[in-house]
Amino acid sequence: MTDTQLVAQADPVSEPGRISLRTLVPIRWVAVVGQTLALLTVHFGLNFHLPLAPALTVVAASALLNLVLTVRRQVARELREPYAALCLGYDILQLAILLYLTGGLENPFSILFLAPVTVAATILSRRLVIALSVLAVAAISALALWHVPLPWRTEPLVFPPEIIVGAWTALVLATVFIAVYTWSVAQDARRLRDAVAATQLALAREQRVSAVGALAAAAAHELGSPLATIAVVAKELVRELPADSPHAEDAALLLSQSERCSRILAELSQRPEDDTTSPYTRLSMSALVEAAAAPYRNRGIRLIFAATGAAEDDEPQVRRSPEIMHGLNNLIQNAVQFARREVTITTFWDARRVTVEITDVGPGFMLHLLSRLGEPYLSSRAGAANHMGLGIFIAQSLLEKSGARLTFENLEEGGAHVAISWDRANLEAVDKGRPTVLARELR
């Protein structure tokens, strides 16, 4: 399964391009209540004479729109991005009209232009964030030139042009900065969420493969008793029926098929530790590495395997861990994808450490990205524009949770080199039946 397919499956509930009404409706209710209280407090409490009727009419329009969205929420819980952008665009225009009636940029509440821009940058795409930022800047600029004088108890205050220009500059710069920064942070969070979800799917898929043997053994155990009964009855029928009976041939066929089923179930129910060829028992580290690389044989790239260890130490025996299998699988796939001729996979071990090194003769990693390898959606190879860059992220996440440390580097003669190293004692002590650290963290 490719990185793209993993991301597509990562969030089956939330459809891309839709915004939850649980986000927009409460925010607008807060704005409606806040605007109403501010208008009433300033007009009646502080005795500043506001154009209260038109101002409250503008606020009532927002309340009406929110009621419509609340009713819609009973039918559909989400809005498509363009409709969400229209709602936030309305919020900007509604605030601009309120500020026009109450002093323009001279009103300290003009800073609230940043609120809809911040919300937009959090939930919308870049194109729509830019559009709403331009609308906000346009509204700020218009208010700097045209507005009703700021309400005051005596003669209206006259602000120097420098104050208005300063307020305009501050609001415009704050709008642009917050839009860019907030969108970047939110986008990184979304990408990381999708990448972690893809990692969880990859691990779950590998665990399902590892569970096939156990399921088969359980099924064989449950089916053994009824099949033994069928076999006994079939033998009795064969023995009791005369040779010239029209049912003798059927009874013999029933007996032969029951014996065949018994042989199949015996194979399925064989204990993994008794079967050295089973992929679910402990393997030597070099055999596990070759199993991880098996899907990439016969791809036009030569795979060279080597295994070396201290003479006094036996090769480590490890379980076929889903994390290790899928992590090595992704790194080997990456090497095969970019290698020109061959990929060398070498397994080292001694009394303390176990190391797997993957070397390919290819373009290597881009130098300016070496320090960032392991981040999601990072295409780290030359010519990798069509790849999402999730493979190394998934591999590193899974292998690190198995206790491994990864290093990436380029070779002087060309090509990439990846080293995965484990503490031998920890690696050999992994309990196959214990939930993995990553599985617990991702729940």
Residue 197: per-residue pLDDT: 66
* CA–CA distance, 66 with 79 (Å, rounded to integer): 13
Other residues' Cβ atoms within 10 Å of the Cβ of residue 334: 23
pTM higher than 0.85 for the full model?
no
Question: pLDDT category, 275, cuts 50, 70, 90?
Answer: very low
Question: pLDDT category, 439, cuts 50, 70, 90?
Answer: very low
Q: Is the pLDDT of residue 277 over 50?
A: no
* CA–CA distance, 251 with 255 (Å, rounded to integer): 6
Whether residues 192 and 46 share a domain: the answer is: yes
The H or E element spanning position 422 is strand 416-423
Whether residues 33 and 162 share a domain: the answer is: yes
The H or E element spanning position 356 is strand 353-360
Residue 387: per-residue pLDDT: 47
Whether residues 158 and 181 share a domain: the answer is: yes
Whether residues 181 and 58 share a domain: the answer is: yes
CATH number, domain containing residue 365 = 3.30.565.10
Q: Is the pLDDT of residue 137 over 90?
A: yes
Q: Which of 83-92, 251-260, 305-314 has the highest mean pLDDT?
A: 83-92
Residue 134: per-residue pLDDT: 93
Question: pLDDT category, 357, cuts 50, 70, 90?
Answer: very high
Whether residues 213 and 173 share a domain: the answer is: no
Q: From 222, 257, 274, give the residue that closes a domain.
A: 274
Whether residues 269 and 300 share a domain: the answer is: no
Full residue range of the structural domain in which residue 180 is found: 3-202
* CA–CA distance, 140 with 114 (Å, rounded to integer): 11
Residue 209: per-residue pLDDT: 52
Whether residues 198 and 70 share a domain: the answer is: yes
Per 3-state DSSP, what percentage of the chain is helix, strand, and coil (rounded to 5)? 65, 10, 25
Whether residues 39 and 155 share a domain: the answer is: yes
Domain count, the chain: 3
Residue 85: per-residue pLDDT: 85
Q: Is the pLDDT of residue 106 over 70?
A: yes
Pair 133, 176: CB distance under 8 Å: yes
Residue 311: per-residue pLDDT: 58
C-alpha R_g of the chain: 34
Range scoring the smallest mean pLDDT among 151-160, 309-318, 339-348, 378-387 = 378-387
Q: How far is CA 312 from each of CA 288, 289, 315, 351, rounded to the nearest angstrom?
A: 21, 22, 10, 9
Q: From 164, 184, 202, give the residue that closes a domain.
A: 202
Residue 42: per-residue pLDDT: 86
Q: From 202, 226, 251, give the residue that closes a domain.
A: 202
